[in-house]
């Protein structure tokens, strides 16, 4: 109980004050989550839902009435129902209303690249947008502490429009996600999911668009929102999960987070799937039909910061490690965007058994024409004659755009990667850990852990004063 209180108070102080710190920029605040929050999990029981099919009519007459249930509270810290009721007297842990969250939808196309907002409900209308139901529709959903006009969302939108003649819908739920209270953002994902479900049902009823013409792309919490929406509108053709969020979802069951049953094809790119105690903002577990692990999926090349102050050692985590995690977490959407715009860049994906021993075997294997290898990114579904990806894959990338390694780099990966993987998949005997598999061991554990039980941050401060 006291440990959780310590975690909670530190989380509040860290995130609330982060806006004034030089080591976190506005863009980096996306998915800014306390590492101790990684032991939280979501206990949301979604009530039974009913849907009302809108009649065939002109879209001006379509009612905004198709909604799904939203839970009354979220036990994100795992205290249980009794403690949750007590905590609610001091902290609001219920999802916000649709009016407060204010989920917004912005449409783009090749003929109308300047995005235009389409309003839900009675204001719904497509007169000012170039939406064609016969096209494939891409829906992009951002994560925690982000918004629909973030640079990566705009870059991905432009990349999709260059890639194909598609409709693009960028969802903005910053009204529910831009809060230092991460558990509130998690609670609001269900509200956002309900609002998006109602909007898409209204859109499909008005235009005749088909569920199987949709491809959802969600980053972090946006990946779980995409899962929720797809489940409630009848399984879309594809969901691409970009490092799906781990905090509050690490122990959640498959109905509460993205998994392979949520769409006809679910592909996941894991870029920060580390041990929860080592600031893993993304889920490390295989979740989809195809799971890609760039450079092992724990941390990404080029994501580092050595600007720790002397006070950093008194904190539960170091600022540089948090910044490294944020950078690795965001690398997922950069890699996916690159797969859209660069035809000369191939993110070759090798079948991998999630072990260190399997890394060398994977990257040294010959990719034959029978489909032993695949490709991470937009072509994972099997475009341009490639086989559809299935299973878990190891992918090599570089630290800078276009992130695509040369043939020589494919054959001889950078030494530090192999060092990280070697130590990351070897548990230190001092740890005496029996519940963590070798596949999810972390390279940071190997050098840094020197005792069986690490002292709390306040004990470390007391020790410095004798």
Catalytic residue among 18, 109, 148, 220: 220
Q: How far apart are CA 464 and CA 449, in angstroms?
A: 19
Q: Is 329 in the active site?
A: yes
Smallest CA-to-CA distance from 198 within 166, 245, 232 is with: 232
3-state SS, residue 169: strand
Instruction: Kindly report the backbone phi and psi dihedral angles of residue 247, in degrees, each rounded to the nearest multiple of 5, phi listed first.
Output: -60, 130
Catalytic residue among 37, 75, 172, 243: 243
Q: Is 220 in the active site?
A: yes
Q: Is 243 in the active site?
A: yes
Catalytic residue among 329, 362, 374, 390: 329
| Cα angle 159, 164, 167; round to 5 | 85
Residues labelled as active-site residues = 220, 243, 329
């Amino acid at each position: 109980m006291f440990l959780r209180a310590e975690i909670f108070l530190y989380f509040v102080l860290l995130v609330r004050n982060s806006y004034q710190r030089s080591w976190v920029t506005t863009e980096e605040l996306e998915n800014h989550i306390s590492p101790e929050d990684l032991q939280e999990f979501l206990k949301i029981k979604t009530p039974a839902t009913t849907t009302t099919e809108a009649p065939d009519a002109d879209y001006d007459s379509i009612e905004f009435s198709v909604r799904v249930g939203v839970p009354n509270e979220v036990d994100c810290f795992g205290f249980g129902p009794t403690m949750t009721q007590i905590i609610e007297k001091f902290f609001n842990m219920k999802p916000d209303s649709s009016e407060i969250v204010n989920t917004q939808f912005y449409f783009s196309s090749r003929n109308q690249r300047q995005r235009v907002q389409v309003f839900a409900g009675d204001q719904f209308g497509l007169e000012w947008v170039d939406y064609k139901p016969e096209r494939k529709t891409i829906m992009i959903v951002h994560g925690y502490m982000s918004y629909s006009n973030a640079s990566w969302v705009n870059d991905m939108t432009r990349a999709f429009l260059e890639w194909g003649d598609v409709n693009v819908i960028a969802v903005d739920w910053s009204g529910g996600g831009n809060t230092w209270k991460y558990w509130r953002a998690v609670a609001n994902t269900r509200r956002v999911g309900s609002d998006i479900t109602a909007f898409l049902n209204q859109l499909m009823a008005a235009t005749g668009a088909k569920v199987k013409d949709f491809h959802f792309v969600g980053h972090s919490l946006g990946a779980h929102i995409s899962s929720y929406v797809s489940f409630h509108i009848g399984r879309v053709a594809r969901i691409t999960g970009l490092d799906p969020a781990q905090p509050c979802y690490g122990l959640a069951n498959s109905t509460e987070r993205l998994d392979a049953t949520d769409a006809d094809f679910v592909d996941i790119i894991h870029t920060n799937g580390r041990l929860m105690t080592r600031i893993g903002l993304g889920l490390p577990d295989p979740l989809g039909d195809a799971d890609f692990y760039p450079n092992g999926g724990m941390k990404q090349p080029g994501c580092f910061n050595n600007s720790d102050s002397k006070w950093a050692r008194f904190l539960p985590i170091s600022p540089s490690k948090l910044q490294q995690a944020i950078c690795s977490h965001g690398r997922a959407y950069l890699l996916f965007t690159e797969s859209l715009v660069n035809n000369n860049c191939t993110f070759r994906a090798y079948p991998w058994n999630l072990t260190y021993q399997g890394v060398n075997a994977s990257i040294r294997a010959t990719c034959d024409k029978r489909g032993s290898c695949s490709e991470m990114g937009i072509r994972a579904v099997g475009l341009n004659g490639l086989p559809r990806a299935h299973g878990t894959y190891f992918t090599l990338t570089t630290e800078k755009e276009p992130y695509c390694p040369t043939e020589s780099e494919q054959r001889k990966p950078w030494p530090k990667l192999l060092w990280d993987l070697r130590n990351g998949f070897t548990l230190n005997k001092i740890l005496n850990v029996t519940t963590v598999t070798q596949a999810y061991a972390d390279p940071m554990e190997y050098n840094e852990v020197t005792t069986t039980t690490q002292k709390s941050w306040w004990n470390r401060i007391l020790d410095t004063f004798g």
